[in-house]
A and B are shown apart, each in its own frame.
Chain A
Amino acid sequence: MTTTAPPPARTPPAPPVRSPLRRTLLRGGPLVPGVVLLVLFLAGPVLYSVYLAFTNRALRGEGSDTTSFVGLSNFTDALSSADFWNSIGLTLVFTVVSAIIGQNLLGMALALLMRNASRPVSAVTGAIVVGAWILPEVVVGYLWYTFLAGDGSLNALFGLVGLPDQELLTALPILAVSFANIWRGTAFTMLVYTAALAEIPTEVEEAARIDGAGPVQRFLQVTLPLIRRAIATNLMLITLQTLSVFGLIYVMTAGGPGTSSQTLPLFMYEQAFSYGQLGYGTAVALLLLLLGGAASLAYLRLLAKEDS
């Protein structure tokens, strides 16, 4: 968060006098390794995907021997395919349920509760929630598979309290993977909000308390406006993270049963590798990239605004 004082103006360290060009080259030198990597392995593939998306490149069958331009047909194929729209819808559900509602609200609740809880309790809760976050995603996939499976932990618990068995993995798999993603991702939001809340001067809330504002009022009218930038940034970041979730869903349901949990990354993967249609898969990937790029741009504008 921005503090009160502007960053101290940096005076460049007084360098020995050299010609301007030589100086620029010398100063920029340390950037070279990073820039080379970013150009080769990030910008390169992005540009290549723009080319590939307009071709019929395939791993086998037509397009595997000779690659030819097919214009926009990959895109028109996608936009007229029911499976594509199914995966768009599922991606939307997955992102809204698991990131924007689940991780965001639960993370905020945890951050707020931890301010009011006793220290041992918040330490234990924090450790468990962060523990869920640091586990590798394949492990999380297995944990949640076993938790939700027909004879898994959740049904065992439901049995104890007399609730009927759930079959979330087959009945509503998109919800199953969303819950897993909430479990895995909430710590991130919790940490961001905890950091943001810690930067609010206590006097501000104290003043509101003295003025007779209740807890809800204090939260809505004092706390929330003060951390709105953190909220916006966090929403952007968790949206981006959730858009690219692949391993978790792949391990839990592999997109199934059928295509009932096939989000965009899984759809893209299936088209490119199960069906060997690299060009078509890339076109879908490009749409995902554009979606992510738009969210990233919004994030950037937000940060730039912060700066000015």
Chain B
Amino acid sequence: MTRLRPALLGLALALAPAAALAQSAPAPLIALSCAGCHGPAGAGEGSVPRIAGYDREAFVQSWAAFRANERPASIMNRIARGFTDAEVAELAAYFAALR
């Protein structure tokens, strides 16, 4: 039992950052408005897709496609045009890190 402890402790430490991020670390302010449609912490709601855990690179590419009207959209094309590349990168990093 005692010999297992270091291994368990290591596991706990490895899990802690992701768990903490998902539950309590303040999200960047820029990401908080997304909750209005995509649900708290980007969990998705009804017909609006989940964006928590969205691959970072794919997020950036999707955003660019929305912005260029190259991806079918109802409202995201209008939203995408209002954000800078740096802001999109911040959003992508945050949602990719959510579980």
> Are A and B genuine complex partners?
no
Could you tell me which A residues sit within 8 Å of B by CB distance?
none
Interface residues of B, Cβ cutoff 8 Å to A: none
